Amino acid sequence: MFEEKANEVVANLPWVKNVKVTMSAQPARPLFAEQLPAGLQTISNIVAVSSCKGGVGKSTVAVNLAYTLADMGARVGIFDADVYGPSLPTMVSPENRLLEMNPEKRTIIPTEYLGVKLVSFGFAGQGRAIMRGPMVSGVINQLLTTTEWGELDYLIIDMPPGTGDIQLTLCQIVPLTAAVIVTTPQKLSFIDVAKGVRMFSKLKVPCVAVVENMCHFDADGKRYYPFGRGSGSQVVQQFGIPHLFDMPIRPTLSASGDSGMPEVVADPQGEASKIFQDLGVCVVQQCAKIRQQVSTAVTYDRSIKAIKVKVPDSDEEFFLHPATVRRNDRSAQSVDEWTGEQKLQYTDVPEDIEPEEIRPMGNYAVSITWPDGFSQIAPYDQLQTIERLVDIVLPAVHA
């Protein structure tokens, strides 16, 4: 689209004889790079694919989504976080089926299949282990953060099924850009989806799509819905998740899961691949939107000496006095944790204090660095309750 438009506009200039468009793009900078473990600093978007139950097709969706994004030209990695039953090893066929270590840096080098970087406990060469929750979280953390991912546009995380501690911990280690939830149309699934959406919303991670898998199949010229009609429309209504994808039951999807070649690679023109392409486009668009919102949410306007807060998903915009923001800090350094008494005195904060830097933290807060070196974590929720500056006179804009 960009190429066509550029061609058209330039070709329309009267003195242009012919046009050759070369397109390139700068990789988007990771949003919270400084706060991330080194191995994750070069990843632009991290997308969790999650389900509340096993066997609904979560891994199938994660792997096919990853290869769809790669086909669209993105640099992609898959992290299979299911340490109990890693399925990635049966779904792809990398030449090297063992993760390698970089002994000097003590980091893990992912294996690769058709250009997509892969890390799974199933490639760790230890077979399945019996582990309890905290150990599982430790292993996941180690695998994820000590991997040398290199520059990636998307890291797809195939989450362990469920919404318990392991999932929560994982979501806290990495700042997820977005989540995709996979479910089947059974009656109970709505409750499952709701649980998933709530977990992610607690962590301020937007769910950008729900995939209702194994919806229907066609036989004898008729369409059958073996699990009943799904609760998809209910999900859309109740949670405002904008995108719902119906994935039919397809024997080839199941077969490709065991053959070591994802369906979207084996049959790129097939029915399932088309749905994965739509899902891929949705993920790309939503991630871009989310990044924009987060990165412009809170800024400091030096010309009017005010912190500008833009409320995501709305046109609302308001201004805060820097000193007021600093005085409202609720951390242990400013408030006695036992008594709740404000330790920071009003006069401790100079009226003309100015922030040195404002950076987004996760999807839920900003970190504000002040000249005295203090780093204040201000959740968006709190910023919305602080007394606002009114009657800001914006400097006139001269044409």
**Beta carbon of residue 42, minimum distance to ligand ADP (angstroms, whole number):** 27
Region binding ligand ADP by CB under 6 A among candidate stretches 39-47, 49-57, 226-234, 295-303: 49-57
49 part of the interface to ligand ADP, by CB under 6 A: no
The CB-nearest residue to ligand ADP is 257
Which of 209/249 has CB closer to ligand ADP? Answer: 249
Burial class (CB within 10 angstroms; exposed 0-12, middle 13-18, buried 19+) of 66: buried
Task: Determine if 7 is a binding residue for ligand ADP (CB under 6 A).
Answer: no
Q: State which of residues 40, 43, 47, 56 lies at the interface with ligand ADP (CB under 6 A).
A: 56
Which residue of 45, 50, 60, 68 would you call a contact of ligand ADP, by CB under 6 A? 60
Measure the CA–CA gap between 277 and 70, rounded to whole angstroms.
11
CB of 156 or CB of 309, closer to ligand ADP: 156
Query: Which residue is it, tokens 């350094």?
Result: 333
Pick from 207, 253, 309, 325: which binds ligand ADP (CB under 6 A)? Answer: 253
Residue from 39, 48, 50, 57 in contact with ligand ADP (CB under 6 A): 57
Q: Is 223 helix (H, G, I), strand (E, B) or coil?
A: strand
DSSP 8-state secondary structure symbol assigned to residue 91: H
Min CB(199)–ligand ADP separation in Å: 16
Give the integer Cα–Cα distance in Å for 166 and 162. 9
Q: Which of 186, 187, 194 is nearest to 50 (CA)?
A: 194
Tell me how far apart the alpha carbons of residues 112 and 296 are, in angstroms, rounded to a whole number: 35
* Site size toward ligand ADP, by CB under 6 A: 17
Using the rule CB under 6 A, which residue among 51, 189, 273, 334 binds ligand ADP?
51
Contact flags string 98-117 toward ligand ADP, x per CB under 6 A:
--------------------
Q: Which of 183, 205, 204 is nearest to 194 (CA)?
A: 183
- Rounded to the nearest angstrom, the gap between the alpha carbon of residue 212 and the centroid of all alpha carbons in its chain is 20
184 or 376: whose CB is closer to ligand ADP?
Answer: 184
Residues 386, 298 contacting (CB under 8 angstroms): no
Q: How far is Cα 77 from Cα 373, in angstroms, rounded to an integer?
A: 37
Q: Applying CB under 6 A, which of residues 166, 193, 214, 361 lies at the interface with ligand ADP?
A: 214
Residue 87 interacting with ligand ADP (CB under 6 A): yes
- Whose tokens are 């739509």? That residue is 278
59 contributes a contact to ligand ADP by CB under 6 A: yes
The verdict on 262 binding ligand ADP (CB under 6 A) reads no
Q: Which is nearer to ligand ADP, 81 or 249 (CB)?
A: 249
CB 212 → ligand ADP: shortest distance, Å? 10
Residue 383 binds ligand ADP (CB under 6 A): no
Enumerate long-range contacts of 269-276, CB under 8 Å, 24 or more apart.
272/64, 272/247, 272/248, 273/64, 273/68, 275/245, 275/246, 275/247, 276/64, 276/65, 276/68
Say how many C-beta atoms besides its own lie within 10 A of residue 392's C-beta: 13
Of 257 and 362, CB closest to ligand ADP: 257
Rounded to whole angstroms, the Cα distance separating 156 from 137 reads 18
228 contacts ligand ADP (rule: CB under 6 A): no
Q: Which residues bind ligand ADP (CB under 6 A)?
A: 51, 54-60, 87, 213-214, 247, 249-250, 253-254, 257
